[in-house]
Amino acid sequence: MARQTLFLLTFFLAGSTLEAATSGDEVYKSRCAGCHDQLSARIPSREALQKMSATRILRTLDFGLMMSIAYPMRREEREAVANFLGTRVDDTAIPASAVCPADRPILSHRTDASWNGWSPSTSNTRYQAAEAAGLMPDEIRKLKLKWALGFPGDVTAFAAPAVWNGTLFVGSAGGIIEAIDAKTGCLYWTFQANGPVRAAPVLVPTAPASSDATLLVGDQIGWFYSLDARSGKLRWKRRVEAHEATRLTATAAAEEGVVFVPAASWEETRALDPQYACCTFRGSVTALRIRDGSAVWKRYMVGTPRKTGVTSIGTERYGPSGAGIWSKPTIDKKRGLLYVTTGDNYSSPATATSDAVVALDLKSGRIVWSQQTTPNDVYNSSCGTKGSNCPPDSGPDHDFGSSVMLVQTSTGRELLVAGQKSGVVYALDPNQKGKVIWQTRVGQGSANGGVQWGMASDGQKVYAAVSDAVRLGNVAGPAPIGNATLDPVKGGGLTALYLNDGTKAWFVPGQPCDPPRPGCSPAQPGAVTALPGVVFSGSLNGHIRAFATEDGEVLWDFDSVRTYTTVNGVQANGGSLDGAGPVVVDGMVFVNSGYPRFGGMPGNVLLAFGPDD
């Protein structure tokens, strides 16, 4: 770890003099040559890199083995050095045997059972009703692997799938969007986005009761796409923010011909570079017309950044900044509102709209009300190393990464329920400008703890899994991909809360790694999924488990960390489960496996389960 730390410091300082626009040769000399021009069995030489495709090199920098090293690099730097080093050969070709036969056409399974976007409904409860789920609780115990699909060249499988009319749509770290037959895994089409695709696609029928649809999805460098769901043909694309560090992690929300696109950012990690002027990104929602991508309105979560001073080494400071939106907006048609949850500020001054649930007017984007849960949370990644870009009196990094749920209680009362990285779940009153009705702690909380990516609710209980991953100190050997070593015993847990008052119904602790293995942790940061009688939760230890909603009994447990024979012929392995949660529809359960970013286990596979025949 000491060697890794020295390398990171050398990397940051070497790149600090780069101009805004540089050639690939200059980027390589400044950022890469210090390691890749040396002879080392652990580091590919420049000659070895020149035999790789530019696509593979860029993928490795984005979400591959080098992602923790490449965090401070601007996107144009990554593209420049990848194109400078790599070949133009396509090394991700799919064999003809993976393509669907002519007698199994796309979107041919007309059904009301779907999982469209982040959640089956715009209320974002991640609850699938019995008829659409197609699985009874007693069938959960009989789930078996039906097929596996590999993502070529990736070490991360983080994209959230969507299923509509029997076809599954999913992106990848390599930026490939695929349309797949949900029952067999055969391939209909692929589309290459400009950047990695993590968000779940949203499908909007082109006409009432139509079997054709528009597919809407964003990528991790700020581009938003409209595709023909039947053919994969591009209809339009827009870059929703000019800031180079923009990333669209969140799934968009669509309503009455308008799609609402939230924006978050990489800028928090850009601040690792002491010469980076931190920070100027502003979280936002952009409303676009689905027919042509034209703008309806835009709402920023903070005001215009201005120079506020200089750091201890003389780098300019800017603020306010941050309050990115990492999760899908929640639509409240009755009140005409769009609810979003926000992240922390990256630089001072702190704002009242960070770490908050914010209600926007659907028609205009006007902020109607905002309920902040953690004031003065000003934080960026340099704070982890006590870097010069860390603001004085930095906050705990307890932002919201998950959507707020709009849920109706058994008494008919509606509540907004939000889980935070602080480890606290809040219930807010939508009729009283987000007044807090109850709050319950379900985890210890930390920068990588608490509720990370999403809860679920069946209208009776709220199901909240927590990360609370524990990072160990310096250990022998090379650092893992995510530049962290995780405790194999501490972390994780799933809590069921009664929706009416927030009291705890039951708790099941995280499952320790058995046996311990690199990247393994019992942490449960991924989104959870509920259906009648069952709630699913994955873990960084690679296990996906189903629990009884009544008492937390484990009904089914599958260890995804293994090698798979895939339907598309791609070599694939399972790893940690994080980010997107399971998707359950029409008798099938879909799970992505592989997430090494914070020290977890790499993987590149989408798994499809169904009841044993």
pLDDT the model gives residue 284:
98
pLDDT the model gives residue 90:
64
**What is the token pair recorded at 391?**
């603001």
Per the DSSP assignment, residues forming a β-bridge with 417 are 405, 427
Measured CA to CA in angstroms, residue 549 lies from 1, 182, 457, 531 at distances of 42, 27, 10, 9
Question: Are 436 and 356 a contacting pair, CB within 8 Å?
Answer: no
What residue segments make up the domains of the chain, in order of their start? 2-85
Question: What's 87's DSSP letter?
Answer: B
With a cut of 50, list the residues of the chain below it in pLDDT.
Answer: 1-21
Place of tokens 């070593």: 485
Measured CA to CA in angstroms, residue 473 lies from 103, 296, 476, 480, 502 at distances of 56, 49, 10, 13, 36
pLDDT the model gives residue 14:
39
Beta-strand ranges (E) seen in 253-346 are 253-255, 258-265, 284-289, 295-300, 306-310, 316-319, 330-332, 337-341
pLDDT the model gives residue 460:
97
Query: 380, 136, 115, 360: which is closest to 262 by C-alpha?
Result: 360
Per CATH, the number for 2-85 is 1.10.760
Question: Are 15 and 73 a contacting pair, CB within 8 Å?
Answer: yes
